[in-house]
Amino acid sequence: MNRRQFCSQASIGLVGAGLVRRAAAAALPEAASSASAVTQVPPAPGSGRPFHPVVTLNGWSLPWRMKNGVKEFHLVAEPVVREIAPGMVAHLWGYNGQSPGPTIEVVEGDRVRLFVTNRLPEATTIHWHGQILPNGMDGVGGLTQPRIAPGQTYVYEFVARHAGTYMYHPHADEMLQMAMGMMGFWVTHPRDPEAMRVDRDFVFLTNAYDIEPGAYTPKVNTMLDFNLWTWNSRAFPGIDPLVCRLDDKVRIRMGNLTMTNHPIHIHGHRFVVAGTDGGWIAPAARWPEVTVDLAVGQMRAIEFVADNPGDWAFHCHKAHHTMNAMSHQAPTMIGVEQQKVAEKISRLIPGYMAMGSTGMSEMSRMQMPLPPNTLPMMTGEGPYGPIEMGGMFSLLKVRRDQKRGDYTDPGWYRQPRGTQAYEWRGELEPVARAAGPGAQPAAIELKVKRRPHTHGL
Ligand SMILES: [Cu+2]
């Protein structure tokens, strides 16, 4: 645990203790709040039944109080400021200081009472996605309850009947409210804390925003062409790595509240899909995967053993979703000789740069001036240069010497000697090509130039 994590845990603990002392007699539990984007590893539960808490990427779990055997939470729907990644903040709506809201953790069979206070400028509700509950607690504005007007507090109460992976979100002006970041994670732990035990249990929600470079508030009417693809309202390199000790049993729970699907892919490991928002999958029915598609409104829990040391890419496989704010209207410039036109334009606009003649990778190297409050399209500096990724991208960091329960970033992985790709510096054999119609012209070979050797590895 690093110092910041310790301090944030300590502050959660203090809020929890404060709840018991100061608000025990009050009808309404205190609403804890956190505006930090640091991953806050929750402490072991101090009241209620035991469980092993999950770790919310760049987020936290909401403290509760026990009142006559009921687990009470207080959610406050309100405008929040969220750092998407260093260099950009967004003005979103969320819960208790953050978007997404804090993760709610309960145990199967718990009776749960949730106070929901609306500090937004318009009415809202909360739907408890995946829960099997009485109809009147389902949170669909107009259908199962009146909407919660600004300033009002509503109470939801039900029994968390099934262990599993769930989420919460509004069912009132939901296109706008979800485009503004209103959502949160819910985990119902099994009755037996040792059942389905893993060493690391990570959770995150996928979300997407359309925020013009230089602006702060998402465009709420965008249907598909979002420019920020985020996990827990964070874009790489703002997404914390998933740090593991070698041979840890790892679970990653993910939910999708965007407008499109996300094929989530992991490198260096095979996993099984162990659960959905409908419940846990019987072990004999699970099959191996390296990519799982998260459809809209779905949740998936994947499990694997982190038995391969290294820094492994973990990302959405839609290439546009590992990019930050970009213009999709930019023309393809591969193969276009721009030198002459660039010279002419430079006479009119000093500092003009021609871009993309050999691809777009060069853009990750350019230190182009950006308007305030946006992110470069491709970001993240690795040990060998730009990683050329943004958006829905993070790292699974597996280390032999990581301590149990320690989530501190161990830095970059150093590959053992002889286990890293290297440049071939010998002679190249001539390539044999078939003659006849459709054959590749030999001239292509002549264009292959050897690049200077840059890494002394
Ligand atoms: Cu995606």
- Percent of residues, the chain, with pLDDT higher than 90: 71
Q: How many whole angstroms separate alpha carbon 162 and alpha carbon 279?
A: 7
pLDDT at residue 304, rounded to an integer: 98
How far is the centre of ligand 1, averaged over its atoms, from the C-alpha of 262 (Å)? 4
How far is the centre of ligand 1, averaged over its atoms, from the C-alpha of 224 (Å)? 11
How far is the centre of ligand 1, averaged over its atoms, from the C-alpha of 393 (Å)? 10
pLDDT at residue 365, rounded to an integer: 57
How far is the centre of ligand 1, averaged over its atoms, from the C-alpha of 278 (Å)? 22
How far is the centre of ligand 1, averaged over its atoms, from the C-alpha of 263 (Å)? 6
Mean pLDDT of 434-457: 55
How far is the centre of ligand 1, averaged over its atoms, from the C-alpha of 15 (Å)? 36
How far is the centre of ligand 1, averaged over its atoms, from the C-alpha of 272 (Å)? 20
Q: How many whole angstroms separate alpha carbon 331 and alpha carbon 76?
A: 45
How far is the centre of ligand 1, averaged over its atoms, from the C-alpha of 282 (Å)? 28
- Percent of residues, the chain, with pLDDT higher than 70: 84
Q: How many whole angstroms separate alpha carbon 158 and alpha carbon 136?
A: 10
- The three-point CA angle 149-104-406 to 5° equals 145
Q: How confident is the model at residue 358 (pLDDT cuts 50, 70, 90)?
A: low
How far is the centre of ligand 1, averaged over its atoms, from the C-alpha of 436 (Å)? 43
Mean pLDDT of 301-324: 95
Please check the confidence at residue 349 and state whether its pLDDT lies above 90: no
Cα–Cα nearest to 259, from 208, 331, 327, 324: 208
How far is the centre of ligand 1, averaged over its atoms, from the C-alpha of 207 (Å)? 9
pLDDT at residue 416, rounded to an integer: 96
pLDDT at residue 226, rounded to an integer: 93
How far is the centre of ligand 1, averaged over its atoms, from the C-alpha of 363 (Å)? 22
How far is the centre of ligand 1, averaged over its atoms, from the C-alpha of 326 (Å)? 15
- Judge contact between 398 and 306, C-beta under 8 A: yes
- Judge contact between 87 and 123, C-beta under 8 A: no
How far is the centre of ligand 1, averaged over its atoms, from the C-alpha of 301 (Å)? 17
Residue with more model confidence, 372 or 12: 372
* Top-ranked range on mean pLDDT: pick from 58-67, 355-364, 428-437: 58-67
pLDDT at residue 455, rounded to an integer: 46
Mean pLDDT of 294-316: 98
pLDDT at residue 457, rounded to an integer: 37
How far is the centre of ligand 1, averaged over its atoms, from the C-alpha of 286 (Å)? 23
How far is the centre of ligand 1, averaged over its atoms, from the C-alpha of 256 (Å)? 9
How far is the centre of ligand 1, averaged over its atoms, from the C-alpha of 303 (Å)? 20
How far is the centre of ligand 1, averaged over its atoms, from the C-alpha of 366 (Å)? 26
pLDDT at residue 45, rounded to an integer: 94
Please check the confidence at residue 351 and state whether its pLDDT lies above 90: no
448-457, long-range: CB < 8 A, 24+ apart: 453/423, 453/425, 455/384, 455/423, 457/420, 457/422
How far is the centre of ligand 1, averaged over its atoms, from the C-alpha of 294 (Å)? 9
How far is the centre of ligand 1, averaged over its atoms, from the C-alpha of 346 (Å)? 38
How far is the centre of ligand 1, averaged over its atoms, from the C-alpha of 322 (Å)? 8
pLDDT at residue 454, rounded to an integer: 46
What's the pLDDT tens digit per position in 233-286? 999 999 999 999 999 999 999 999 999 999 999 999 999 999 999 999 999 999
How far is the centre of ligand 1, averaged over its atoms, from the C-alpha of 317 (Å)? 6
Q: How confident is the model at residue 51 (pLDDT cuts 50, 70, 90)?
A: very high
How far is the centre of ligand 1, averaged over its atoms, from the C-alpha of 79 (Å)? 26
Q: Average per-residue pLDDT in the chain?
A: 87
Please check the confidence at residue 444 and state whether its pLDDT lies above 90: no
How far is the centre of ligand 1, averaged over its atoms, from the C-alpha of 416 (Å)? 33
Please check the confidence at residue 327 and state whether its pLDDT lies above 80: no
What's the pLDDT tens digit per position in 119-176? 999 999 999 999 999 999 999 999 999 999 999 999 999 999 999 999 999 999 999 9
Mean pLDDT of 46-72: 97
Per DSSP, which regions of 96-212 are E strands?
A: 104-107, 111-118, 127-129, 153-159, 164-169, 184-189, 200-209
pLDDT at residue 137, rounded to an integer: 98
**For residue 318, how many other CB atoms are within 10 A of its CB?**
17
What is the set of domains in the chain, with CATH numbers? 3-316 (2.60.40.420)
Q: Which of 199-203, 377-381, 398-402 has the lowest mean pLDDT?
A: 377-381
How far is the centre of ligand 1, averaged over its atoms, from the C-alpha of 435 (Å)? 43
pLDDT at residue 360, rounded to an integer: 64
pLDDT at residue 2, rounded to an integer: 45
How far is the centre of ligand 1, averaged over its atoms, from the C-alpha of 206 (Å)? 8
